[in-house]
Amino acid sequence: MGASLKDVAARAGVSVKTVSNVVNGYTYVAPHTREKVEKALAELDYRPNLSARNLRRGRTGVIALALPELDAPYFAELSRFVIDAAAERGWTVLIDQTDGLADRERQVLQGIREQLIDGLIFSPLTVGREELAARTDNTPLVLLGERILDGPTHHVAIDNQRAAREMTEHLISLGHTRIGAIGAQDNPSANTAHLRLAGYRQALEAAGLPYDDRLTPSTRSYHRADGAEVMRRLLALDEPPQAVFCFNDLLALGALRTALSAGLRVPQDVAVAGFDDIEDGRYSTPTLTTISPDKGQIARTAVELLDARIGGTGRAARRAEGDAAEVREVEADYRLIVRESTVGTAGA
Amino acid sequence: MGASLKDVAARAGVSVKTVSNVVNGYTYVAPHTREKVEKALAELDYRPNLSARNLRRGRTGVIALALPELDAPYFAELSRFVIDAAAERGWTVLIDQTDGLADRERQVLQGIREQLIDGLIFSPLTVGREELAARTDNTPLVLLGERILDGPTHHVAIDNQRAAREMTEHLISLGHTRIGAIGAQDNPSANTAHLRLAGYRQALEAAGLPYDDRLTPSTRSYHRADGAEVMRRLLALDEPPQAVFCFNDLLALGALRTALSAGLRVPQDVAVAGFDDIEDGRYSTPTLTTISPDKGQIARTAVELLDARIGGTGRAARRAEGDAAEVREVEADYRLIVRESTVGTAGA
DNA sequence: TTGAAAGCGCTAACAG
DNA sequence: CTGTTAGCGCTTTCAA
């Protein structure tokens, strides 16, 4: 075990308190004393023991980021931003992967890591309002990506429904009348999917186009393989769609692959659009039309909200303020980005 | 602050020790007592304070994973495996992003998070043997991906040079004689790049092909944009290469994009190969020939090595054993995966 | 300006 | 089988 405050104090010939003062940059320390202490500190290569400090202060400087899978590019990119934003506040981020499993998500809410983390940023896939309300753990929480209306917690998300509507309108404006959607979910608490589907239907309706549920097959998850497979089914229909709106970019990349290897030209034979604006879609051939949520803004906002919730003074104070503070729902920005997969310029 | 052991003890009418025994699942506790305690535990919704426990035990159950960027798919995929492997041992993983910056990497080695983490898994980009030797922090460390020979630390990596040679041989076996390589690095401590370049040169030499350094431009980093840009330069040569071996898949995807948007057919006009086997390459069109390191094995091995190094008994014991234990260099498996981008079956 | 000492919540000797 | 008690290293009144 490294040197402790006591060791340093002994070596410098002062009290622990004085060393502590120096370490924590308190003001009133005589220059001479300070010097002695700093020398001892350096000689012993002192490093504060965070467990002890945390125990005393009642906070740890660690927050958790819980998300379905780190290896889905959208989450990887988002994590990057969250970690950076947290680092600016001197926080360290610890990652919890839920795999989108209901059980694991519930565990996260109940605070597996409690007392180790000062706060939690959580991107749920399946848990709903009830689970949230049932939460007994009172670690500050900010939700991401889901829009659980009137939920009891801070959250930040884009307007999924509006974004989906815009994308569908884009496809309609291109003259397509038979438009598929990939990514509907059977799970009734898959909020995001429902909102995107709702946006899609709204746009169809507004344009007077019929809704055909054969064109909106649900998928098991949101990976490339799901998109590839469902696209095969869509293309096998008597009347295949002229365009497909995929509820995330991975699905779109999978769908793209299926279309291209079937010898179809994209977008001439079938247009493909995604959602999330992951980097892959900027380099695929054709490049991918998509909705680009402002991930940096989402991350920064989440961290800020959490910071406000955690407050400056440890658990006791937090509890007092926290409960009083009202819940905030922040809507993040997004943009529709039109690329080759719907308007095609390249030779593909 | 939640209920403490003392609170529970008071409520159950027993001593703290007994409660502790129950919480930690010790054997000799009278059924009746246990019952009482468990009731109190539940009523008070007791959760152990990890800071206190850690302080006492001298370990935290947290390890750090330090890597260049979480949003590079290779690292995202690797992280996933590391987090899963760590979870099996009850460890939590905290992520440090270095952005490959020498300063940040040095900080990581010097233990920014010391006393908060029991161990460190580190995938360095720039630091070399000297920095490693100069390390004063004695948190157990396992290096990833780099092969710093005779280094003072455990590490796990594939044989980069051999893998690169195999890939180059594959391209040669296809009849290509003018083969480019994308991803050389000017930075002399960019070990991985040098090894891959060395493997490439070995293969050329063995086949009696000349080495032409105009065909091996260096890149600033390993992103899609770098691959795209360097590929443009390569294609602008008087005698452009018939095939390019990119030192990672992102470079390859960028190069692919450049080639395709220049109207070239891949692999007929130019073959492209990558390294890492990220998921993108399995769904790009054409799909990407690549080297597939066994990421699961790498992650599991790293976690195992760390576990052995941390030992069962906190810092004191660790120091004693640790220094004695010999350094282990584990070589992970990899496979050459041939896909469309070099042997082309699809219509692309 | 500095020191002494209490105590954060927990675990583990040691007794009983 | 259960209780007492001494710290782990740190921060923080309270005094001096």
Q: What is the mean pLDDT of residues A173-179?
A: 98
Kindly determine whether residue B51 and residue A113, on different chains, have CB atoms separated by under 8 Å. Answer: no
Choice between B52 and A276, residue whose per-residue pLDDT is larger:
A276
Q: Which pLDDT score is estimated for B236?
A: 97
The overall average pLDDT reported for chain B is 90
Q: Which pLDDT score is estimated for A243?
A: 98
Split at pLDDT 50, 70, 90, the class of B152 is: confident
Q: Which pLDDT score is estimated for B315?
A: 42
CA distance A295 to A121: 14
Kindly determine whether residue A283 and residue B253, on different chains, have CB atoms separated by under 8 Å. Answer: yes
Angle between helices B73-88 and B295-310 (to 10 degrees): 50
Buried b (16+ CB within 10 A) or exposed e, B274-300: bbbbbbbbbbbbbbbbbbbbbbbbbbb
Range in A67-81, A186-200, A253-267, B239-253 with the lowest mean pLDDT: A186-200
Nucleotide nearest to A28 (CA to C1'): C1
Q: What is the DSSP letter of B140?
A: -
Q: Which pLDDT score is estimated for A148?
A: 64
Q: Which residues of B fall within a CB distance of 8 Å from A60?
A: 51
Q: Which pLDDT score is estimated for A313?
A: 40
Give Cα A230 to chain centroid, integer Å.
Answer: 26
Angle between helices B5-12 and B16-23 (to 10 degrees): 110
- Quick one: what percent of chain A has pLDDT higher than 90? 60
Q: How far is B46 from chain A (nearest CA, A)?
A: 10
Range in A56-60, A147-151, A272-276, B57-61 with the lowest mean pLDDT: A147-151
- Is B250 within 8 Å of B73 (Cβ atoms)? yes
> Is residue B341 pLDDT above 90, yes or no?
yes
- Quick one: what percent of chain B has pLDDT higher than 70? 93
Closest CA to A184 of A167, A201, A163: A201
- Is A346 within 8 Å of A260 (Cβ atoms)? no
CB-contacted nucleotides of strand D (7 Å): 1-5, 7-13
Q: Which pLDDT score is estimated for B322?
A: 45
CA distance A336 to A167: 7
Buried b (16+ CB within 10 A) or exposed e, A190-203: bbbbbbbbebbbbb
Footprint of strand C on the protein (CB under 7 A): A 13-18, 21, 28-30, 32-34, 52, 55-56; B 1, 4-6, 16-17, 20, 23-24, 46-49, 52-53, 55-57
Q: Which pLDDT score is estimated for B138?
A: 81
> Is residue B2 pLDDT above 80, yes or no?
no
The overall average pLDDT reported for chain A is 89
| Chain B residue closest in CA terms to A316 | B1
- Quick one: what percent of chain B has pLDDT higher than 90? 61
| Chain B residue closest in CA terms to A320 | B1
Kindly determine whether residue A253 and residue B115, on different chains, have CB atoms separated by under 8 Å. Answer: no
Instruction: Give me the long-range contacts of B189-193 (CB less than 8 A, separation at least 24).
Output: B189/B126, B189/B127, B189/B128, B190/B125, B190/B126, B191/B128, B191/B146, B191/B147, B191/B148, B192/B145, B192/B146, B192/B147, B192/B160, B192/B247, B193/B247
> Is residue B208 pLDDT above 50, yes or no?
yes
Split at pLDDT 50, 70, 90, the class of B134 is: confident
> Is residue A219 pLDDT above 70, yes or no?
yes
Q: Which pLDDT score is estimated for A347?
A: 46
Q: Which pLDDT score is estimated for B318?
A: 42
What amino acid is encoded at A253 in this protein? L
Kindly determine whether residue B80 and residue A69, on different chains, have CB atoms separated by under 8 Å. Answer: yes
Q: How far is the CA of B325 from the C1' of C13 (A)?
A: 30
E strands, A85-200, in order: 92-97, 119-122, 141-144, 154-157, 179-182
> Is residue B73 pLDDT above 60, yes or no?
yes
CA distance A20 to A84: 29
Using one digit for the tens of pLDDT, what is the confidence trace for A22-36?
888 876 788 888 888
Q: Which pLDDT score is estimated for B149?
A: 62
CA distance A143 to A217: 28
- Is A91 within 8 Å of A62 (Cβ atoms)? yes
Split at pLDDT 50, 70, 90, the class of A150 is: low
Q: Which residues of B fall within a CB distance of 8 Å from A97?
A: 80, 83-84, 87
Q: Which pLDDT score is estimated for B313?
A: 39
Q: Which residues of A fall within a CB distance of 8 Å from B114?
A: 2, 47
Neighbours of B214 (CB within 10 A): 12
Q: Which pLDDT score is estimated for A317?
A: 42
In this complex, the residue of B92, B115, B224 whose CB is nearest that of residue A50 is: B115
Q: Which pLDDT score is estimated for B156?
A: 94
Q: Which residues of B fall within a CB distance of 8 Å from A261?
A: 285, 346-347
> Is residue A112 pLDDT above 90, yes or no?
no
Kindly determine whether residue B261 and residue A228, on different chains, have CB atoms separated by under 8 Å. Answer: no
CA distance A80 to A69: 13
CA distance B287 to B273: 10
CB-contacted nucleotides of strand C (7 Å): 1-13
> Is residue B292 pLDDT above 50, yes or no?
yes
Q: Which pLDDT score is estimated for A153?
A: 86
Q: Which pLDDT score is estimated for A324?
A: 46
Q: Which pLDDT score is estimated for A149?
A: 62
Q: Which residues of A fall within a CB distance of 8 Å from B58?
A: 1
Using one digit for the tens of pLDDT, what is the confidence trace for B293-312?
999 999 999 999 999 888 74
Q: How far is A202 from chain B (nearest CA, A)?
A: 31
Direct distance between the N- and C-terminal alpha carbons of chain B, in angstroms, rounded to an integer: 63
> Is residue B241 pLDDT above 90, yes or no?
yes
Using one digit for the tens of pLDDT, what is the confidence trace for A294-329?
999 999 999 999 998 887 444 444 444 444 457 788
> Is residue B319 pLDDT above 60, yes or no?
no
- Quick one: what percent of chain A has pLDDT higher than 70? 93
Query: Hey, is A116 helix, strand or coil?
Result: coil
Query: Hey, is B228 helix, strand or coil?
Result: helix
Kindly determine whether residue A261 and residue B285, on different chains, have CB atoms separated by under 8 Å. Answer: yes
Residues in chain A: 348
> Is residue A215 pLDDT above 60, yes or no?
yes
Query: Hey, is A285 helix, strand or coil?
Result: coil
Kindly determine whether residue A2 and residue B115, on different chains, have CB atoms separated by under 8 Å. Answer: yes
Direct distance between the N- and C-terminal alpha carbons of chain A, in angstroms, rounded to an integer: 62
> Is residue B252 pLDDT above 60, yes or no?
yes
Q: Which pLDDT score is estimated for A152?
A: 77
Q: How far is A190 from chain B (nearest CA, A)?
A: 23
Q: Which residues of A fall within a CB distance of 8 Å from B254?
A: 283
Strands B271-273 and A271-273 turn out to be unpaired
Kindly determine whether residue B51 and residue A346, on different chains, have CB atoms separated by under 8 Å. Answer: no
Tokens 């948007």, residue located: B261
Q: What is the mean pLDDT of residues A105-129?
A: 86
Q: Which pLDDT score is estimated for A73?
A: 97
